[in-house]
Chains A and B, each alone.
Chain A
Amino acid sequence: MSEFLEIWLPFIYLYGVGGALFLIGMILVRKSGSLNMKLKRHRYWFRVLVFGYFYFFIFHFLFTIAGLYW
Chain B
Amino acid sequence: METFHNIGSSSDWIVMILYFLLVMLFGSYFGKYNRSTKDFFFGGRRFAWWLIAFSIVATGVGSHSFVKYSAKGFEHGFSSTMTYLNDWFFMPFFLFGWLPLIVYSKIRSIPEYFEKRFSPSARFLATILLLFYMVGYISIGFLTLGKAAMPMLPESFSLFGMQIHITLMGVIIFIAIITGIYITFGGQTAVIFTDLMQGFILLFAGLLLFFLGLDYIGGWGVLWNILPTEWKLPLANFNKPPDFNFVGIFWQDGIAGSIGFLFMNMGLVMRFMATKSVDEGRKAATFNVLFMLPISAVVVGNAGWIGKAISLISPDLISPNASPDQIFVVVANIVSHPGVFGFIMAALTAALMSTVDTLINATAAIYINDIHRPIKHLLKKDNLSVRATEKKELAAARYSSVIITILGVVGVLAFKGFPTVYEAHGYFHSTLTPPLVVAIFLGIFWKKFTPAAVITTFIVGVALMLLGAYYPGILIRPFAQGIQMNPEHPYSYIRAFYNLIVCAVPGVLVVYTTMKQKAIVESLKKKSNVNEIMIGMTIVSVTVFVLIVFNIFHLAFSFVLIAILFVTVPLLVNYYVAYDPVSQTEGLTVWSIARAKEMFKGRKVNEEEGERIIVHWKVVDGDDEYIQFSKNDMERMKAKVDDLVYICDKRKYLGGLKSVHQIYGEPHDEDGIVYIKNEHLLNGVFVEGRPLTAEKEM
Contact check: which of A26, A55, A60 meets B92 at CB < 8 Å? A26
User: Interface residues of B, CB < 8 Å — how many?
Assistant: 41
Encode B274-305 as 1/0 by CB contact (under 8 A) with A.
00000100100010011000100000000000
10 nearest CB pairs, A to B:
A25-B92, A67-B232, A10-B235, A10-B246, A29-B96, A63-B234, A18-B89, A34-B96, A67-B233, A34-B593
Give Cα A13 to B637, complex, Å: 48
Give Cα A48 to B97, complex, Å: 16
Q: Is B132 on the interface with A (CB-CB < 8 A)?
A: no
Contact of B289 with A52 in the complex, beta carbons under 8 Å: yes
Chain B residue nearest to A61 in the complex (CB): B234
B224 contact set on A, CB distance < 8 A: 70
- Docked complex: A35-66 residues within 8 A CB-CB of B: 35, 39-41, 45, 48-49, 52-53, 55-56, 59-60, 63-64, 66
Contact of A13 with B238 in the complex, beta carbons under 8 Å: yes
**Chain A interface, >50% SS class:** helix
Contact of B232 with A10 in the complex, beta carbons under 8 Å: no
Chain B residue nearest to A67 in the complex (CB): B232
Interface residues of chain A, those whose CB is within 8 Å of chain B, are 1, 5-7, 9-11, 13-14, 17-19, 21-22, 25-26, 28-29, 32-35, 39-41, 45, 48-49, 52-53, 55-56, 59-60, 63-64, 66-68, 70
Q: Is B559 on the interface with A (CB-CB < 8 A)?
A: no
Give Cα A53 to B294, complex, Å: 14
B90 contact set on A, CB distance < 8 A: 21-22, 25
Contact of A52 with B290 in the complex, beta carbons under 8 Å: yes
Q: Is B461 on the interface with A (CB-CB < 8 A)?
A: no
Contact of A52 with B286 in the complex, beta carbons under 8 Å: yes
Contact of A55 with B78 in the complex, beta carbons under 8 Å: no
Q: Is B594 on the interface with A (CB-CB < 8 A)?
A: yes
Q: Is B237 on the interface with A (CB-CB < 8 A)?
A: yes
Q: Is B43 on the interface with A (CB-CB < 8 A)?
A: no
A40 contact set on B, CB distance < 8 A: 609
Contact of A49 with B95 in the complex, beta carbons under 8 Å: yes
A5 contact set on B, CB distance < 8 A: 238
Q: Is B507 on the interface with A (CB-CB < 8 A)?
A: no
CB distance from A65 to the nearest CB of B (A): 10
Contact of B250 with A39 in the complex, beta carbons under 8 Å: no
- Docked complex: B221-254 residues within 8 A CB-CB of A: 224, 229, 232-238, 246-247, 250, 254
Contact of A21 with B89 in the complex, beta carbons under 8 Å: yes
Contact check: which of B85, B238, B590 meets A10 at CB < 8 Å? B238
Q: Can you list 25 A-B pairs with a CB-CB distance of less than 8 A?
A: A6-B238, A7-B233, A10-B235, A10-B238, A10-B250, A11-B235, A17-B250, A18-B250, A21-B89, A22-B92, A26-B92, A28-B445, A29-B92, A32-B591, A34-B100, A35-B92, A40-B609, A52-B91, A53-B88, A56-B85, A56-B86, A56-B88, A64-B234, A67-B232, A70-B224
Interface residues of chain B, those whose CB is within 8 Å of chain A, are 78, 85-86, 88-93, 95-97, 100, 224, 229, 232-238, 246-247, 250, 254-255, 279, 282, 286, 289-290, 294, 445, 589-591, 593-594, 607, 609
Contact of A14 with B86 in the complex, beta carbons under 8 Å: yes
Contact of A22 with B88 in the complex, beta carbons under 8 Å: yes
Contact of A49 with B91 in the complex, beta carbons under 8 Å: yes
Contact of A29 with B286 in the complex, beta carbons under 8 Å: no
CB distance from B602 to the nearest CB of A (A): 20
Contact of B97 with A34 in the complex, beta carbons under 8 Å: yes
Give Cα A52 to B247, complex, Å: 22
Contact check: which of B235, B593, B594, B609 meets A14 at CB < 8 Å? B235
Give Cα A32 to B100, complex, Å: 13
Chain B residue nearest to A42 in the complex (CB): B96
Contact of A29 with B93 in the complex, beta carbons under 8 Å: yes
Give Cα A9 to B238, complex, Å: 7
A32 contact set on B, CB distance < 8 A: 589-591, 593
Contact check: which of B92, B282, B294 meets A28 at CB < 8 Å? B92
| Residue from B235, B236, B237, B590 having most chain A Cβ neighbours under 10 A | B235
Contact of A67 with B78 in the complex, beta carbons under 8 Å: yes
B255 contact set on A, CB distance < 8 A: 21
CB distance from A29 to the nearest CB of B (A): 4
Contact check: which of A22, A28, A45, A70 meets B89 at CB < 8 Å? A22
CB distance from B273 to the nearest CB of A (A): 18
| Residue from A29, A49, A52 having most chain B Cβ neighbours under 10 A | A29
Given contacts A22-B92, A45-B96, A52-B91, contact A14 B282 (CB under 8 A): no
Contact of A39 with B607 in the complex, beta carbons under 8 Å: yes
Contact of A48 with B85 in the complex, beta carbons under 8 Å: no
B279 contact set on A, CB distance < 8 A: 41
Chain B residue nearest to A35 in the complex (CB): B96
Given contacts A11-B235, A19-B89, A64-B233, contact A48 B96 (CB under 8 A): no
Contact of A13 with B593 in the complex, beta carbons under 8 Å: no
Given contacts A10-B247, A34-B96, contact A60 B282 (CB under 8 A): no
A66 contact set on B, CB distance < 8 A: 232
CB distance from B504 to the nearest CB of A (A): 13
B238 contact set on A, CB distance < 8 A: 1, 5-6, 9-10, 13
A56 contact set on B, CB distance < 8 A: 85-86, 88
Contact of A52 with B88 in the complex, beta carbons under 8 Å: yes
Give Cα A61 to B88, complex, Å: 16
CB distance from A36 to the nearest CB of B (A): 8
Contact check: which of B234, B590, B607, B609 meets A34 at CB < 8 Å? B590
Given contacts A22-B92, A25-B90, A52-B286, contact A10 B97 (CB under 8 A): no
B247 contact set on A, CB distance < 8 A: 10, 13
A48 contact set on B, CB distance < 8 A: 286
A10 contact set on B, CB distance < 8 A: 235-238, 246-247, 250
Contact of A18 with B235 in the complex, beta carbons under 8 Å: no
CB distance from B351 to the nearest CB of A (A): 24
Give Cα A58 to B224, complex, Å: 20
